[in-house]
Amino acid sequence: MRAIDVHVHPSTRGLDCDACAYFRRELNEVPTTEEKFADLFVAQQVKALLIGWHPSTVKDGTRNSNEHVIELVTRYPAAFAGILASLNVGSQPVAELIDEARALLENPAVKGFKFHPPDQNFYPNDRKHYELWELLEAGNKPVMFHTGFTVLGANQDGGHGIGLDCGRPIHLDTLARDFPRMKIIAAHPGWPWQEELIGVVTHKKNIYVDTSGYLAEQLPELFQRAIRGRLQDKALFGTDFPYVDLEKALISFDKLGLKDPAKEKILLANARALFGI
């Protein structure tokens, strides 16, 4: 295994064509069958963690779901290491979410959870969700939150109802303070709040960060410096596939000029230790 990609959306369901356009992804380059999707990861010797969340902006086609990605992991174990499950935080009663979370925590395919506060319209540090976070913290599986800019609703009137504020890294700071044993992953470099993100990840030992949503050479300079240095034990390789191509992401990562130990940690060892893969 060459790398673990901790941030992969299945290209088989829930594909946002506006987001593809934003990333200048040719739709015919995106695999839509399960076989081709899996083959791509096998060919690169990368194991992916698949995200079960369905974006609000995609109305057509069959919805992505935790069940769908669990099925992919079961069918293609050489390509997929597990899933990051999602829950309808912000739009479903907490008691129901807790029941769902309990069942997901017991499933060995579930390696962690992934939420998108801007699209799901909630603040991670809002106390009304704390009962759910208590359960996830006790369940000992990492929890990823989208941070910073999102392509969902970008360049649309009112951003399609999506507010960026919910994705500010500083909200994860209070969450990490209140749940010191919860392993929190800030997805993306948090732009336009990359300084805030680096401050938060540096201060809270239980916050990690992934490199997804960018080719590595396009990551904010400050962020590149941070993962080369102090944050090299807390950074995780991620693509945001299918919006960012896996092969291009790997080639770009090589161009960062990281020393071998740091490179190994970010591509593989940090994720291995964090998710127990």
CA separation for the pair 89, 24 (Å, rounded): 31
Contacts of 27 (CB under 8 A, 6+ apart): 17, 20
Residue 260 Cβ vs Zn ion, minimum distance, rounded to whole Å: 28
- Least spacing, CB of residue 90 vs Zn ion, in Å: 17
Nearer to Zn ion, 23 or 130 (CB): 23
Residue 153, token pair as written in the block: 């609703």
> Rounded to the nearest whole angstrom, what is the least distance from the CB of residue 273 to Zn ion in the complex?
22
User: Looking at 32-40, 87-95, 136-144, 232-240, which segment touches Zn ion (CB under 5 A)?
Assistant: 232-240
**68, amino acid identity:** H
Considering the complex, state which of residue 17 and residue 138 has its C-beta at the smaller distance from Zn ion: 17
Q: How far apart are CB 163 and Zn ion at their closest, in Å?
A: 18
State how far the Cα of 69 lies from the Cα of 110, in Å rounded to an integer.
Answer: 10
Q: Which stretch binds Zn ion (CB under 5 A): 20-28, 97-105, 164-172, 235-243?
A: 235-243
Interface segment toward Zn ion; rule CB under 5 A; list 53-61, 166-174, 238-246, 252-260: 238-246
For residue 11, the minimal CB distance to Zn ion (Å) is 12
Question: By CB under 5 A, is residue 240 in contact with Zn ion?
Answer: yes
Give the Cα separation of 114 and 51 in Å (integer).
7
3-state helix, strand, coil in the chain (%, to 5): 45, 15, 40
CA angle 149, 150, 156 (to 5 degrees): 110
Number of H helices, E strands in the chain: 12, 8
* CB-nearer residue toward Zn ion: 115 or 127: 115
Residue at shortest CB range from Zn ion: 240
* Complex with Zn ion: residue 173 or 240, whichever CB lies closer: 240
User: Which of 71, 86, 113, 116 lies closest to 213, judged by CA?
Assistant: 116
HSE-CB for 194 with a 13 A CA cutoff:
15
Q: Which is nearer to Zn ion, 179 or 243 (CB)?
A: 243
Q: Of 73 and 185, which has the nearer Cβ to Zn ion?
A: 185
Please report, as residue ranges, which positions from 83 to 142 form the binding site for Zn ion (by CB under 5 A): none
Min dist. Cβ of residue 97 to Zn ion (A): 21
Half-sphere exposure of 6 (CA within 13 A, CB side): 36
Distance spanning both ends of the chain, measured CA to CA: 11
Number of residues counted as binding Zn ion (CB under 5 A): 1
What residue ranges bind Zn ion (CB under 5 A)?
A: 240
